[in-house]
Structure 1
Amino acid sequence: MKIIQSGIINKTASIAIIISRFNQFINNNLLSGALDTLKRIGRIKEDNILQIYVPGAYEIPLIANYISKYKKYNAIIVIGTIIKGSTDHFKYIASDTYNNLSKISMKYFIPITLGILTTNNLEESIERAGLKMGNKGSEAALAALEMINVIETLKKNND
């Protein structure tokens, strides 16, 4: 039986991070967590990380699609915060964003990891951006690092 598992260190990987400016004070904490994980744990060089800011979470898939098309990056981390309001707008933005990111990832065989919070209120968002619920930006970075290495291992096995 063959088993493929991979670590999280990859000093040569290139990673794009797409960050929503909407709810920026929360997203900045998610970004800090992702960057710390990439550099300190994954040992990614700062020059191999591209940060792109977009107006909101809904705009993230367009940029992810554009980046993926050119196959310059080994993974994409997306960061944003969608907080439930008094209308159904929250559901549609979250659903469309997640579905489109999944389609892009599958189409281009690129890991797109989610550091997008979907919460009921501001307090939940703050908890998930570095307080008692951890930092979801850091978790997205860890997932990206591992997926890069899993894909590289699969490519080597198929050569």
Structure 2
Amino acid sequence: MFHADKGTAGQLDGSALHVGIVQARFNEQITNTLAAACHAELLALGVQEQHITHLRVPGALEVPLALQALAESDDYDALIALGCIIRGETYHFELVANESGAGVTRVALDYQIPIANAIITAENPEQAAERQSEKGVDAARVAVEMANLLANLE
């Protein structure tokens, strides 16, 4: 049975939220731009600078562990995963993409905290560069919207 929306769809007011960002340093030329776009959008949505925590880890496989540490602290309303995985000539791309994605999802479900997964997976650096700013903005919006949605369900 369909129930009418209680006004929570698209709620992008971040003024009361605490947000944690975990950024992979690997492919830093992409992830720095991704992080800057995400951070700017969080501020535009009202998240206060002092309520944004930004951690950097070596690569995408380390992102879930840092997210888990933030989630365990119970200090955050939403988390954001940032990274960039570019296909190479070996199976390593699939391994890193699949395992990092599964880890991010597991933390979100285990700790019941929204995590915007903005770990870019791309065929080449040009494709990643085309997506870096938009993906950062999208991650901020998803984090704020989902934090508000879950708060309204409680």
Band of TM-score, shorter chain: over 0.9
1:8-60 residue CA offsets vs partner (Å, 9 max, x unmatched): 112120000000111111111111110111001x1111000000000001100
Give the aligned CA root-mean-square deviation in angstroms.
1.0
Match of 1:108 in 2: 111
Cα separation, 2, equivalents of 1:50 and 1:100: 20
* SS at structure 2 position matched to 1:105: helix
- 1:22 equivalenced with 2:22 (yes/no): no
Match of 2:132 in 1: 129
- 1:76 equivalenced with 2:75 (yes/no): no
Moved over 4 A (4+): none
1:87-114 residue CA offsets vs partner (Å, 9 max, x unmatched): 0100001101111111110111100111
Match of 2:149 in 1: 150
- 1:139 equivalenced with 2:138 (yes/no): yes
TM-score (norm 2): 0.94
Identity %: 31
- 1:43 equivalenced with 2:42 (yes/no): no
* SS at structure 1 position matched to 2:108: helix
Match of 2:5 in 1: 3
Cα separation, 1, equivalents of 2:33 and 2:5: 35
Cα separation, 2, equivalents of 1:48 and 1:24: 24
Unaligned residue ranges in structure 1 (runs of 5+): none
Unaligned residue ranges in structure 2 (runs of 5+): none
The number of equivalent residue pairs is: 150
Which letter maps to 2:104? L
